[in-house]
Amino acid sequence: MSEKCYVARSTKIAARMMGDEMMIMLAPDSTLFTLNEVASVIFNAADGTTPLEVIVAERVCSEFDVELEAALKDAEHVVKELAGHGVLLVSDEPITPPLAFAQVAR
Amino acid sequence: MASLTTASAAADVVIEIGGLPIRLSTDDPAFVEMLKERYAGFVTSGTKAQIEFDVMLAPADRMMGHGEIRVERESGQWSMGRGDFEADWNPRTARGIIRQSANPYSLNSVLRIVHTLLLAEQGGFLVHASSAVRNGRAFLFAGVSGAGKTTMARLAPPDVTLLTDEISYVSRQKDGYYAYGTPFAGDLGRLGENMRAPLAALYLLTKGTENKIEPLGPAEASRALLENILCFARDSEVVRSVFEAACDFVCRVPIRRLTFVPDARVWEMIA
């Protein structure tokens, strides 16, 4: 995954924080996901314009006692998995909906 | 997609579930009589229906099989089907057509689908749960097949009024959630009472060696509830509505896990 990696929440999901877990449902097929605390922080910060590295440094490392390198590696793994399910969109350029969504989601 | 035209109906019946009267018109009076018997307690007369369906009956050998239910929306009109029925429904005109053989089971499926679509717009849902009213309050007992829905209904003491032993009807209204009786019966083979009551709690059923009630966290409660909600439509808008409805419900109605020994003592805990 490139260093300049941008992530955005898909528009094809419904999401709600229930207690301390983020519940996500894929709108097209009703698949349900639950994110842990770290993944929830990344998901919430995935605005399409903040690089993943910045999200990890400023949000994950500040909230959880983890080293940047290790946290970034874990975050990239989480993002790749969620992107594979269509929960997140990933691009090496900032993602600004709706045009960028169409470009990235193809 | 088929156009929704009016058939030359010889007979009709209005079936009211969840306070929503649906008129079914057909050219076969015998079929209507069968429906009146099948949905006794939910048949209303002289009521202006909010939704009208023409039921076009076909020979049974032309409407066979079951398979997956298909529910799709195109240009604002719903199309639904399975091997044994096909139906179209336009929510804007509140009219639709059902094509099926003269059996009540296919119609039952159409009614369930239509109610799930309508409830989703209003923050309600149909859920795999038995439900009953005690002391003016409704209790839901949810679970997959074999979890004990019908068992709870069978064990209910005389002061309990059964709403259903299989599919519960949850409606969100201005002053909270209400459970309605339904004619959607399970193994008990008995229709629920056509009444409503404010919802007091939902219990997720588990059979065990002792009776106990345990709290559930909001995420676990949401997951469990969503697993039991009926959602037939592969439609993003409906799926979002159902998800939001379930989350809102969990935030407002107590959801507990009820582990129970299948005998009458379990009802001592429900009040």
10-residue mean pLDDT profile of chain B (271 residues): values are 53 95 95 95 87 93 77 96 95 97 92 97 97 98 93 96 96 97 88 96 96 96 96 92 97 97 95 86
> Residue B59's pLDDT is what?
86
Question: In this complex, do B239 and A14 lie within 8 Å of one another by their Cβ atoms?
Answer: yes
> Residue A101's pLDDT is what?
42
> Residue B188's pLDDT is what?
80
Residues B83 and B154 in one domain: no
Q: How far is CA B271 from the centre of its chain?
A: 24
- In angstroms, the CA B221 to CA B203 distance is 10
Question: In this complex, do A27 and B239 lie within 8 Å of one another by their Cβ atoms?
Answer: yes
Output the tens digit of pLDDT for each of chain A's 106 residues: 546 899 999 999 999 999 989 999 998 888 999 999 999 999 999 999 999 999 999 999 999 989 999 999 999 999 999 999 999 999 999 998 654 443 343 3
Decide: B104 and B35 in contact? Cβ < 8 Å.
yes
Which of the listed residues B79, B94, B121 is the one where a domain comes to its end? Answer: B121
Residues B76 and B148 in one domain: no
Residues B142 and B247 in one domain: yes
Contacts of B247 (CB under 8 A, 6+ apart): A16, A18, A23, B222
Residues B104 and B230 in one domain: no
Supply the ipTM of this predicted assembly: 0.81
φ/ψ (deg, to 5) at B257: -95, 125
Decide: B23 and B53 in contact? Cβ < 8 Å.
yes
Question: In this complex, do B219 and A18 lie within 8 Å of one another by their Cβ atoms?
Answer: yes
B235 lies in a domain? yes
Question: Would you list the domain boundaries of chain A?
Answer: 6-104
- In angstroms, the CA B46 to CA B80 distance is 29
Q: How many other C-beta atoms are found inside a 10 Å radius of the C-beta of residue B160?
A: 17
Is A23's Cβ below 8 Å from some Cβ in B?
Answer: yes
Question: In this complex, do A30 and B231 lie within 8 Å of one another by their Cβ atoms?
Answer: yes
Residues B101 and B192 in one domain: no
The single-letter DSSP state of residue B198 is E
Which residue type occupies B163? L
Closest to B164 (Cα-Cα) out of B200, B147, B140, B197: B140
Which of the listed residues B121, B141, B172 is the one where a domain comes to its end? Answer: B121
Which of the listed residues B87, B121, B155 is the one where a domain comes to its end? Answer: B121
Residues B105 and B147 in one domain: no
Chain B residues with beta carbon closer than 8 angstroms to that of A20: 219
Query: Nearest CA to CA, how far is B218 from chain A (Å)?
Result: 5
Question: In this complex, do A27 and B247 lie within 8 Å of one another by their Cβ atoms?
Answer: no
Instruction: Give per-residue pLDDT as tens, A5-16.
Output: 999 999 999 999
> Residue A98's pLDDT is what?
52
φ/ψ (deg, to 5) at B126: -95, 140
Residues B114 and B179 in one domain: no
Decide: B218 and A18 in contact? Cβ < 8 Å.
yes
CB nearest A27 (choices: B223, B240, B250): B240
Chain A residues with beta carbon closer than 8 angstroms to that of B221: 18
Host domain of residue B112: 11-121
φ/ψ (deg, to 5) at B5: -110, 160
The single-letter DSSP state of residue B60 is G
> Residue B185's pLDDT is what?
87
Residues B96 and B210 in one domain: no
> Residue A97's pLDDT is what?
65
Residues B62 and B175 in one domain: no
* Number of domain units in chain B: 2
Half-sphere exposure of B127 (CA within 13 A, CB side): 34
> Residue B8's pLDDT is what?
57
- In angstroms, the CA B78 to CA B115 distance is 13
| Residue B179's CATH number | 3.40.50
Residue contacts between A and B (CB atoms, under 8 Å)? 49
Residues B132 and B262 in one domain: yes
Query: Nearest CA to CA, how far is A93 from chain B (Å)?
Result: 27
State the virtual CA torsion across B129, B133, B153, B221 in degrees, nearest 10: 30
Is the domain defined by A6-104 classed in CATH 3.90.930.60? yes
> Residue B5's pLDDT is what?
46
Residues B241 and B130 in one domain: yes
> Residue B121's pLDDT is what?
94
Residues B250 and B136 in one domain: yes
Decide: B185 and B131 in contact? Cβ < 8 Å.
no
Strands B255-260 and B196-207 turn out to be parallel
- In angstroms, the CA B186 to CA B240 distance is 28
